[in-house]
Amino acid sequence: MAVTYLLEYMEQNKTAAYFSLLADKIIFNPDEKGVWNKLNRNIPNSKRRRSYPAVKVGRLAVNEDYSGQGLGTFILDNIKYAFSNVKRLGCRFITVDALKTAVPFYERNGFQCITESDKDDETRLMFFDLKNFITE
Ligand SMILES: CC(C)(COP(=O)(O)OP(=O)(O)OC[C@H]1O[C@@H](n2cnc3c(N)ncnc32)[C@H](O)[C@@H]1OP(=O)(O)O)[C@@H](O)C(=O)NCCC(=O)NCCS
């Protein structure tokens, strides 16, 4: 179940961007221990789990009229802030099934591919560790 948010440019009566968020989790896969090591890198041994709560960016799109102006990054920064510093919900990672064409955009925003097993697919599963965004 997802919640969708619209960013409206009221003066021009246009939708500038939209995105949706849903609850997710990253679960340990014994066949991909390298992946798990990557995810656990910043987590002390005593706090390591077999799964971690996450928030998934289900859809994110910026109206072409406003692309390349930092709006996509602004949206991701606000999601990072909302789920790290505001702490309304205990959550360690942001995940996204990124369209292949959008992978460089997410990489510029600090996301990493989780696995190599989807490298030939249309979308790639990526994550961002919210620990990297805590400013307090
Ligand atoms: C991908 C998308 C959300 C980016 O939004 P945006 O507002 O244009 O992105 P920003 O202006 O914040 O760009 C941030 C950086 O990423 C780069 N970037 C953005 N889209 C990129 C792409 N498709 N490929 C490579 N780099 C990209 C920008 O050049 C910019 O780099 P800079 O920091 O060096 O200037 C937008 O292009 C879009 O809606 N695309 C179509 C739908 C889509 O692919 N959504 C993602 C599905 S998971």
Atom of ligand 1 at shortest distance to CA of 106?
Answer: 16
Q: With a 6 A CB cut-off, is 107 part of the ligand 1 pocket?
A: no
**pTM for this one?**
0.93
81-135 per-position pLDDT tens digit:
999 988 778 899 999 999 999 999 999 999 999 988 899 999 999 999 998 887 6
**Counting Cβ atoms within 10 Å, is residue 114 exposed (0-12), middle (13-18) or buried (19+)?**
buried
Three-class HEC string of the chain: CEEEEEEEEHHHCEEEEEEEEEEEEEECCCCCHHHHHHHHCCCCHHHCCCEEEEEEEEEEEECHHHCCCCHHHHHHHHHHHHHHCCCCCCCCEEEEEEEHHHHHHHHHCCCEECCCCCCCCCEEEEEEEHHHHCCC
Ligand 1 centroid distance, CA of 102 (Å)? 6
- Tokens representing 113? 């591919």
- Tokens representing 80? 């990072």
Closest C-alpha residue for ligand 1 atom 36: 62
53-92 per-position pLDDT tens digit:
999 999 999 999 999 999 999 999 999 999 998 877 889 9
Ligand 1 centroid distance, CA of 21 (Å)? 18
Ligand 1 centroid distance, CA of 50 (Å)? 33
19-60 per-position pLDDT tens digit:
999 999 998 888 888 888 888 888 899 989 889 999 999 999
Spell out the domains of the chain, with CATH numbers in brackets: 2-133 (3.40.630.30)
- pLDDT value at position 75? 98
- pLDDT value at position 39? 85
